[in-house]
Amino acid sequence: MAVKLRLQRHGKKGKPFFHIVAADSRSPRDGKFIERIGSYNPNTNPATIQLDNQKAIEWLNNGAQPTDTVRAMLSYTGVLLRQHLQKGVAKGALSQEEADKRYETWMADKTSKIESKKDRLAKQKSEAASKLLKHERDVNEARLKAMTAAASAASAEAAEAPAAEEAPAADAPAENTEA
């Protein structure tokens, strides 16, 4: 039986969510599987990959073949590096401490890159929100100025209109008294 490490699609239309599974290569994509070893959520930025590294290494050592996408995820999470270093330890090229040290330095670098990307995205999002708020504030101020100008013009016209109406009314009673 040929075992593959592959993705199994879940989620609704337009919002995929994947389980990373070890499955018989003959079974359908979303069908029967042997073991679930992780999950992948491409809807977040950066994409969220949760993986049981020990199970993945165990399946790789037992001969499971990852698909191209899962291979990229295994490389991204450091599983393939860990397996490579373990092979070096088995051959005697490295000590276990040296392999662990190399893996930890790689993971620290990878984690810092991911965190810097998250920070950069959060900063861009907050800057966009503040820019949008500033634009909204400017538009509201312009509307308020236009409304106050219109109101003052209307009040000025209203003040002039009664004065004009009162003048003929004052003339009319004067004419009535003469007659």
**Token representation of residue 81:** 């590096």
pLDDT score, position 163: 55
The pTM of the whole model exceeds 0.85: no
Contact 70, 5 (CB under 8 A): yes
For 86-146, give the secondary structure using H, E and C.
HHHHHHCCCCHHHHHHHHHHHHHHHHHHHHHHHHHHHHHHHHHHHHHHHHHHHHHHHHHHH
Which of 2-6, 34-38, 44-48 has the lowest average pLDDT? 44-48
**Which CATH architecture group holds 3-94?**
2-Layer Sandwich (3.30)
Give tens-digit pLDDT for 47-70.
899 999 999 999 999 999 999 999
Q: What is the pLDDT of residue 106?
A: 92
Domain ranges of the chain: 3-94
The answer, yes or no, to whether residue 168 has pLDDT greater than 80, is no
The answer, yes or no, to whether residue 165 has pLDDT greater than 90, is no
Question: pLDDT tens for residues 90-127?
Answer: 888 888 899 999 999 999 999 999 899 989 999 999 99
Each residue's pLDDT tens digit, 143-162: 999 888 888 888 888 777 66
